[in-house]
């Protein structure tokens, strides 16, 4: 068998959630890029066009779940990469809560932005 490298300890909760969110993100990231660069060209995007898309509940829900899962996947990846590099003890705890705080702020602000793009509220 060829060598297999990973920053994650296989079998743990963080490892499993990283894989579950990855499956969702593979489809949604590709969809997001394709829709906003190849179907609707980014240079032609207007607020009215964005509002029309984001005001559809299904699209809004998909984009919001994209925000939440991408934030978790990204921050969990950073956390595990740092642990893999030797982060431990009180520094590990401090980094963990800093990343949790950054994630909550990003999701909260991302939700505000998403709502500002709709006519749902």
Partner 1 sequence: MSHSYDRGFIEDFGRWREFSAGMWAWIFHKFTGWVLIGYLFTHIAVLSTATASDPAVYTNTLQGLEALVIVRFLEVGLLAVAVFHILNGVRLLFVDLGVGLEAQDRSFYASLVLTGAITVASVPTFIGGVLA
Binding site residues, partner 1, CB under 8 A:
1-7, 10, 19, 22-23, 25-26, 29-30, 33, 37-38, 41-43, 45-48, 50-51, 67, 70-71, 74-75, 77-78, 81, 102, 106, 109-110, 112-113, 116-117
- How many helices (H) and strands (E) the chain has is answered by 4, 0
Distance CA 102, CA 71 (A): 9
- Shortest Cβ distance from residue 10 to partner 1 (Å)? 6
7/62 with CB nearer partner 1: 7
CB of 25 to partner 1, least distance (A): 8
Query: Is the Cβ of residue 91 or residue 112 nearer to partner 1 in the bound state?
Result: 112
Strands, E assignment, 4-57: none
Contact by Cβ (8 Å): 25, 70: yes
Q: Which residues contact 10 (CB under 8 A, 6 or more apart)?
A: none
């Amino acid at each position: 068998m060829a060598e297999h490298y990973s920053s994650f300890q296989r079998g743990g909760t963080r490892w499993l959630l990283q894989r579950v969110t990855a499956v969702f993100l593979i489809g949604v990231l590709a969809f997001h890029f394709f829709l906003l660069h190849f179907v609707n060209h980014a240079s032609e995007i207007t607020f009215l066009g964005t509002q029309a898309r984001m005001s559809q509940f299904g699209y809004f829900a998909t984009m919001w779940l994209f925000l939440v899962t991408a934030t978790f996947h990204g921050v969990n990846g950073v956390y595990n990469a740092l642990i893999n590099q030797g982060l431990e003890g009180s520094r590990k705890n401090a980094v963990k809560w800093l990343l949790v705080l950054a994630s909550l702020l990003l999701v909260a602000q991302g939700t505000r932005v998403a709502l500002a793009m709709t006519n749902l509220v």
